[in-house]
């Protein structure tokens, strides 16, 4: 890390460590003077979130989309860290129960951490203890299983490098972590700033502290979602902000670094707010598209006098657009022949397509539903 990149406006200090320097972020700001353009972005993001919350609250069956959008968030957050698992890869594995490769397992672990953290929020507030617990769920079954799951680091780490001199970023030394984390935790529930602005600076600070040996990015983005939930910015976890960060990955990292080096809060906050607005609109569009598609399918079911099992199976496809007879029989708690008949009816309607070409161990996919959640992010931006 080049200390010359850090200016007098940096919101922290460089401290010497063996072989170079580390950056220790200072206390979070309690006030930020935002230019008019950023204030307008804030209003735009708040309107988009408000529209999404209103739509999902008023729309029947919107809960069908929770798992699909949560899966997309997990896929994109993990992809930022270099995994190559797709939405379809993860959704298919959850149905077939095949042995997951490392990339898919990383995403599944993220989903487990997300579910665990949301459950724990009903018992304890958002705090460092909950974050450590979620980190412990994130790492054990992935490639970070030997990277101290659930523990704050006790050694110096480097981002994109193996020494202080050639690293892109060097976070605080371990003896400075406690103060940094305590300050960050104290700001979790303050209200001096608009909540979305506060969410942006909290996310920056967590990434700058880099408190774990591994999984900092994924946990930091998960904590960001939890923050928006506990402060009632979001009614439900429908926002997959990581998709925006992944689509603009170089800008994401560059702007985080510019805060550390130059104190450039404005550009980072504007980027974050633009992402919130974009993803909220996308989630609302996807919700509308999925429910419209479901209504069309229901009309076909009504015309074909489909039974209750077929209708229940249809709803499950909006949670996961893949299906096998054994897994659907288990989830619906019905017999194999009952599910087989339901799947045959959905195939005849064009809802499901058989994708293996086999006579046995067949797998089915609802391609129109899958398409709603896998449109390339870059094609749907701004």
User: Which CATH number characterizes residue 333's domain?
Assistant: 1.10.10.10
pLDDT number for residue 313: 95
pLDDT number for residue 100: 81
Residues 273 and 317 in one domain: no
Residues 265 and 364 in one domain: no
Does residue 54 lie within any of the structural domains? Answer: yes
**Cα 295 to Cα 300: distance, rounded to the nearest angstrom:** 9
Residues 174 and 71 in one domain: yes
Reported pTM: 0.92
Residues 259 and 329 in one domain: no
pLDDT number for residue 57: 75
pLDDT number for residue 61: 58
Residues 316 and 272 in one domain: no
Residues 34 and 166 in one domain: yes
Residues 198 and 82 in one domain: yes
Residues 277 and 318 in one domain: no
Residues 310 and 268 in one domain: no
Residues paired with 17 in a beta bridge: 20
Residue by residue, pLDDT tens for the chain (382 residues) are 899 999 999 999 999 999 999 999 999 998 899 999 999 999 999 999 999 988 877 665 566 677 788 899 999 999 998 888 999 999 999 999 887 888 999 999 999 999 999 999 989 999 999 999 999 999 876 566 778 899 999 999 999 888 888 999 999 999 999 999 999 999 998 888 999 999 999 999 999 999 999 999 999 999 999 999 999 999 888 889 999 999 999 999 999 999 999 999 999 999 999 999 999 999 888 888 888 999 999 999 999 888 999 999 999 999 899 999 999 999 999 999 999 999 999 999 999 999 998 888 899 999 999 999 886 544 444 3
Does residue 297 lie within any of the structural domains? Answer: no
The residue range of the domain holding 322 is 304-376
For the chain, the domain total comes to 2
Does residue 293 lie within any of the structural domains? Answer: no
pLDDT number for residue 214: 93
């Amino acid at each position: 890390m080049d200390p010359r990149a850090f200016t007098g406006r940096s919101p922290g200090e460089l401290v010497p460590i063996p072989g170079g320097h580390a950056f220790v972020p200072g206390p979070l700001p309690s006030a930020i003077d935002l230019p008019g353009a950023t204030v307008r972005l804030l209003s735009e993001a708040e309107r988009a979130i408000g529209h999404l919350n209103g739509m999902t609250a008023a729309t029947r069956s919107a809960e069908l989309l929770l798992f699909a959008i949560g899966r997309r968030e997990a896929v994109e957050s993990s992809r930022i860290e270099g995994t190559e698992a797709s939405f379809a890869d993860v959704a298919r594995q959850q149905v077939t129960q095949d042995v997951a490769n490392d990339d898919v397992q990383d995403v599944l672990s993220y989903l487990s951490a997300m579910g665990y953290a949301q459950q724990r929020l009903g018992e304890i507030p958002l705090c460092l203890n909950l974050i450590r617990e979620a980190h412990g769920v994130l790492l054990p079954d992935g490639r970070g299983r030997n990277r101290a799951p659930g523990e704050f680091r006790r050694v110096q780490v480097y981002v994109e490098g193996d020494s202080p001199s050639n690293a892109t970023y060097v976070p605080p030394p371990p003896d400075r972590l406690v103060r940094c984390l305590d300050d960050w935790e104290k700001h979790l529930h303050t209200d001096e700033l608009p909540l979305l602005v506060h969410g942006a600076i909290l996310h920056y600070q967590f990434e700058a502290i880099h408190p774990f040996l591994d999984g900092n990015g994924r946990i930091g983005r998960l904590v960001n979602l939890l923050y928006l939930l506990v402060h009632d910015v979001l009614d439900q976890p429908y926002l997959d902000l990581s998709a925006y960060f992944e689509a603009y990955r170089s800008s994401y990292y560059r702007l985080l670094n510019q805060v550390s080096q130059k104190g450039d809060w404005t550009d980072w906050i504007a980027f974050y707010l633009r992402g919130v607005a974009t993803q909220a609109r996308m989630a609302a569009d996807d919700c509308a598209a999925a429910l419209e598609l479901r209504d069309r399918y229901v009309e076909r079911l009504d015309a074909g006098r489909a039974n209750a099992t077929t209708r229940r199976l249809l709803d499950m496809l909006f949670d996961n657009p893949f299906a096998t007879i054994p897994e659907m029989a288990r989830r619906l708690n019905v017999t194999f022949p009952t599910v087989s008949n339901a799947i045959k009816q959905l195939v005849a309607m064009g809802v499901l397509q058989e994708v293996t070409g086999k006579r046995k161990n067949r797998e089915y996919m609802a391609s129109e539903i899958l398409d709603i959640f896998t449109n390339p992010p870059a094609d749907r931006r701004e």
